[in-house]
Amino acid sequence: MPSEDSRDLYAILGVSREATQEEIKKAYRKLVRKYHPDANPGDAEAAERFKKINLAYEILQDPQKRAAYDQYGTLGDAPPGGAPFGGFGPFGDIFGDIFDSFFGGAGRPSRGPVRGENIEVSLSISLEDAFSGVTREVSVPRQETCGRCGGSGAEPGSEVRTCPSCRGSGQVETQQRTPFGTFVSVSQCRDCNGSGKKIDSRCANCGGSGRVRTRHTVEVRIPPGVDSGTRLRVAGEGMEGSQGGPPGDLFISIKVESHPLFERDRDDLHARLDLKYPQVVLGASVEVPTPEGTDRIEIPPGTQGGKTFRVKGKGMPRLRGSGRGDLYAHVFIEVPRDLSEKERTLVEALAQEMNVPIQSTGLMDRIRQLFS
Ligand SMILES: [Zn+2]
Ligand SMILES: [Zn+2]
């Protein structure tokens, strides 16, 4: 049976998940020298190890395969909910073929380590938090090893016996004779759910499952620049594994709330810039809102409604890569609804000067007076 670490490619090479390609190569070369069959004649364990090292390297040295592996953490278990990308997506075959030969197929009933399920949590954050990044505490459901029985499922002090149905193997075979021969199918033992053990008295805390549902607070650091649809992975914060398997991962799906001032388009922001008639006619220095405050821009004389000004580098930070997107200020010309007496006179004078027909209230007043 594989130990917990034998499914972790990084552990096989003895490097961290953050290791550079160069470090992986170095670690690989060292291990290959150590476990090479020529250096260990007749040592079956070393030979097996040598094969695993080569397999791990085959995946980790290829950035694409490595990324796919990173996304799913370890091999052999599909993400919960039946795999959004169909198992391991384009890499399913590669991983499946390689690892089936070593660790047995994922579909086969097995008492070996089983990786815990992944957990998916959605999280709404404000645009401000998406801009600056934020740390949030997320409460996630989890299955943990029962503290009362230590995961055995048996009431402390009671006996755990070998399952009589499967004699401890955890699986049962059924034979079927057909004209084409005898077919043997292997399935998980129902009496012990594949554990191979039978419990006299079930643990009062977990009911014999060996696991309890809890909630668990995970501190999640949300980097600047996330957008709706961003999926963050927190390794090892998913469901606990069973039979010594590693835990699953926690995935955080981000939703960025809408903002009263800004509309977001990937890394760019769009804002409405309300200007008064004299400002667009004569030009002005005005303030535009930015995520961190305001910025001053120059409006040239004769600016038309609908014109867009780009404020470079004042958009959202880029999640991947450096720098920021741009801010676009869209000009809207504000037409006043309530004019003071003086403003009215001035606008009327302007209309007269420009020789444009208007509805003169002065004239209307005089007509009204005539007929009252
Ligand atoms: Zn228990
Ligand atoms: Zn059994």
**Domains, in order of start, for the chain:** 1-112 (1.10.287.110), 262-334 (2.60.260.20), 341-371 (no CATH)
Contact 254, 229 (CB under 8 A): yes
| Dihedral sign computed on CA atoms, order 369, 370, 371, 372 | positive
Q: What is the DSSP string of 112-180?
A: S-BPPPPEEEEEEE-HHHHHH-EEEEEEEEEEEE-TTTTTS-BPTTS-EEE-TTTTTSSEEEEEEEETT
- Looking at the CA of 109, name the nearest ligand: 2
Kindly give the distance from the C-alpha atom of residue 145 to the centroid of ligand 1, in angstroms, as a whole number: 8
**What pairs with residue 271 in β-bridges?**
262, 329
- Looking at the CA of 212, name the nearest ligand: 1
pLDDT tens per residue, range 124-169? 999 999 999 999 999 988 778 889 988 888 898 888 888 888 888 8
Say yes or no to pLDDT of 214 above 80.
yes
- Looking at the CA of 193, name the nearest ligand: 2
Distance CA 303, CA 333 (A): 10
Contact 221, 133 (CB under 8 A): yes
Strands annotated E in the chain: 119-125, 134-145, 160-162, 171-178, 181-188, 197-199, 211-222, 231-234, 250-256, 262-265, 268-276, 284-290, 293-299, 308-311, 327-334
Range with lowest mean pLDDT among 35-39, 199-203, 272-276: 35-39
- Looking at the CA of 189, name the nearest ligand: 2
pLDDT tens per residue, range 79-104? 443 333 333 333 444 444 444 434 44
* pTM, entire model: 0.55
Single-letter amino acid, residue 92: G
Kindly give the distance from the C-alpha atom of residue 62 to the centroid of ligand 1, in angstroms, as a whole number: 43
* pLDDT computed for residue 185 by the predictor: 81
pLDDT tens per residue, range 13-71? 889 888 888 899 999 988 888 888 888 888 888 888 888 888 888 888 888 778 777 76
Single-letter amino acid, residue 170: G
Give the pLDDT band of residue 281 (cuts 50, 70, 90): very high
